[in-house]
Amino acid sequence: SSTEHVKIVEVGPRDGLQNEKTIVPLSTKISLIERLSRTGLSVIEAGSFVAPKWVPQMADSSSILAHLNKNPPQPSQHISYPFLVPNLKGLDAALSPTHPASEIAIFASASEGFSQRNLNCSIDESLARFAPVVSRALDAGVKVRGYVSMVIACPYSGPTPPAAVVDITRKLLDMGCYEVSLGDTTGVGNPHTVDVLIKALVEAGIPVDKLACHFHDTYGQAIVNCMVGLANGVRVFDSSVAGLGGCPYAKGATGNVATEDLVYFVGMNTGVDLERLSEVGAWISDTIGRKNNSKVGPALLAK
Ligand code: HMG
Ligand code: MG
């Protein structure tokens, strides 16, 4: 019903920008986060503390975190700004004594091929690396979100067995993640494969309120796949303003489902002002010279 709440996790400033070849100026990144903060969004992923040699675009994440601590955006509602953390070195940056993050996200892969390419280690090694990251974060009062990538298929390892996703999801929850986001990193899922996956997770006893859907739109299936998530009881969806995005270590991956399209589609209470959000989408597309991949945003602004 329209009173039911759907939570949107805006990932544009991180997933959306991390793949841009040209370095986006820090002031643009901060302006994007501040503009998004005035749309009613409650979670805005703001950067990542990964190796700058691997993802140069995210090298200024400490400055973003410092800025957010010094100049907390105005709205009275609480906004969470998670940062991705791959290891203890990244956690040290996130736990900065002068400007600590209040939330981090760790990211594992359901496929060995992508784990090697994205984290330079096996799945098991990555989980062993994440365990102390999570326990230290929780000790410091920092919330931890988990991601599983390549939940449907992987360009390097082929189709992903749902049982592999169940296994890693359970391990991330057992470690202390409050929620696990299911990443269809290259957007290859369709309503059938997504339905099979979510039902496998639920049947394995994973509470559906611990799950989020993170769909990339490479094959144009992201919205319809969100519908399948919704029909199976998922109420948290990741998306990117203007459909920005792509993963630098996932061959052929394009942007996330556009936040504007997601807000329009769910038709439930998201707390998001769609017109303001559409303006942010138009602004960032213009500013970084990229096609606006939302359908809804431009349509709404043209009215
Ligand atoms: P490695 O090369 O094995 O790491 O990379 P290392 O420990 O050998 O260190 C190599 C160098 O990196 C050293 O510097 C370290 O200090 C430095 P050097 O001595 O050579 O000058 N380093 C760091 N610097 C800053 N912050 C750090 C850090 N760690 C090491 N945290 C590593 C391993 C995990 C670091 C690397 O593979 C990495 O950074 N990977 C991240 C890749 C990434 O960000 N991918 C995109 C995000 S995931 C995604 O987009 C999917 C998602 O959206 C969901 C979905 O769609 O499925 C979440
Ligand atoms: Mg992603």
Q: What is the mean pLDDT of each run of 10 residues along the chain (303 residues)?
A: 84 96 96 97 98 97 97 80 98 97 98 98 98 98 98 97 98 98 97 98 98 97 98 98 82 89 94 97 96 96 93
The phi and psi torsions of 111 (rounded to 5 degrees) equal: -125, 140
Task: Compute the distance between CA of residue 94 and CA of residue 49 in angstroms, rounded to an integer.
Answer: 7
Q: In terms of Cα–Cα distance, which of 175, 125, 179, 115 is closest to 147?
A: 179
**Residue 49 CB–ligand 1 contact under 6 Å:** yes
State yes or no: is 247 an active-site residue: yes
Size of the chain, expressed as the number of residues it contains? 303
Output the pLDDT for position 75: 61
Q: Which CB contacts under 8 angstroms, 24+ apart, belong to 87-90?
A: 87/129, 87/133, 88/129, 88/132, 88/133, 88/136, 89/49, 90/48, 90/49, 90/50, 90/133
**Residue 83 CB–ligand 1 contact under 6 Å:** no
Output the pLDDT for position 253: 77
Output the pLDDT for position 303: 85
54 CA from centroid of ligand 1 (Å): 6
Output the pLDDT for position 2: 54
Task: Compute the distance between CA of residue 124 and CA of residue 158 in angstroms, rounded to an integer.
Answer: 19
Which amino acid makes up residue 63? S
Of all ligands present, the nearest one to the C-alpha of 239 is 2
Output the pLDDT for position 249: 74
243 CA from centroid of ligand 1 (Å): 24
Helix extents (H) in 176-258 = 191-203, 222-231
The reply to whether ipTM tops 0.85 is yes
Q: Per DSSP, what are the bridge partners of residue 65?
A: none
Nearest atom of ligand 1 to the alpha carbon of 87: 31
Q: Retrieve residue 295's tokens.
A: 């359908």
26, 274, 258, 263 alpha-carbon torsion, rounded to 10°: 130
**Residue 50 CB–ligand 1 contact under 6 Å:** yes
46 CA from centroid of ligand 2 (Å): 13
**Residue 86 CB–ligand 1 contact under 6 Å:** yes
177, 105, 214, 30 alpha-carbon torsion, rounded to 10°: 150
Output the pLDDT for position 76: 58
**Residue 120 CB–ligand 1 contact under 6 Å:** yes
Nearest atom of ligand 1 to the alpha carbon of 247: 50
Q: Retrieve residue 59's tokens.
A: 């090298």
